[in-house]
Amino acid sequence: MKGQEWYQADDVAAEYDDKRFSQGGQLIDRREKEAVLEAIMPVEDRNVLEIACGTGRFTVMLAERGADVVGLDISAAMLQQGRKKAKAANVAGTLEFLRGDAGRLPFPDDHFDTVVAMRFFHLADDPEAFLREMRRVSRDQIVFDTFNRFSARSVYNWALPMGSRLYSKSEVSVLLAKTDLTLVDVEDDFLAPYGLYRSIPNGLANAIRSVDETVGGRPLTDHLASVSYWNTRVR
């Protein structure tokens, strides 16, 4: 099953967090949340839209820190998990989950301070069109991540062809120029692929992560990172 169809399957939502963010996957969850918070800070009172919010990992986190958040996703089952998570975190009354298409966002121009799209662009069939739509509804900032072409992720894509798209830095730079976005910062991380972290116990994952951070932070190896976190501003 290709990536987009797999993601929307009802039976995937209930197990999504456990399969991806348990064991060593907890390190991935922690790093992604750190990247989003660093880009948006200060979070309190910021009006945020999260595209492809899934089970609400970032939506709930931002609501807990005082942001006014809307989470949008195409999967009803994923949104249901997000609502359960919001209720458990006691923030159900301070955020909104909507089912919708990222290609046709149901919001007026310049409606949000920040638009966040994590774990989205690798499944986007028309990244420029999606980025333009995010740009339309944002008056200030767009934060997103991409999986990188020159990384261990390329082996994963070859072994498990789910239609996941990889990007070079130059491709993303062109997308930003075409959509009138200015790059504020980009952070590269995870030499070891996500799949490795998810498949091993947390203790072993921590040891690998320590090596990954040490080696990956060097200029010669940084460009081989699996993922990049992009912080951009509207021109």
CA distances from 51 to 91, 118, 145, 151, 157 (A): 19, 8, 12, 25, 23
In whole angstroms, what is the distance from residue 140 CA to residue 154 CA? Answer: 33
- Note the pLDDT tens digit of each residue in 72-113: 999 999 999 999 999 999 999 889 999 999 999 999 999 999
pTM exceeds cut of 0.75: yes
Specify whether the CB–CB gap between 145 and 121 falls below 8 A. yes
Find tokens 């990992």 and name the residue.
57
- We find that the CATH architecture of domain 3-234 is 3-Layer(aba) Sandwich (3.40)
Give every CB contact of residue 188 below 8 A, 6+ residues apart in sequence: 148, 216, 222, 223, 225, 227, 228, 229
Which pLDDT does position 78 carry in this prediction?
Answer: 92
Which pLDDT does position 164 carry in this prediction?
Answer: 78
Which pLDDT does position 149 carry in this prediction?
Answer: 86
CA 212, 119, 95, 233 torsion-angle sign: positive
Of the pLDDT bands very low, low, confident and very high (cuts 50, 70, 90), residue 1 is very low
Average pLDDT for 188-192: 91
What is the pLDDT of the chain when averaged over all its residues?
Answer: 88
Which pLDDT does position 117 carry in this prediction?
Answer: 98
Average pLDDT for 113-142: 95
Specify whether the CB–CB gap between 120 and 93 falls below 8 A. no
Pairing of strands 227-234, 181-189: antiparallel
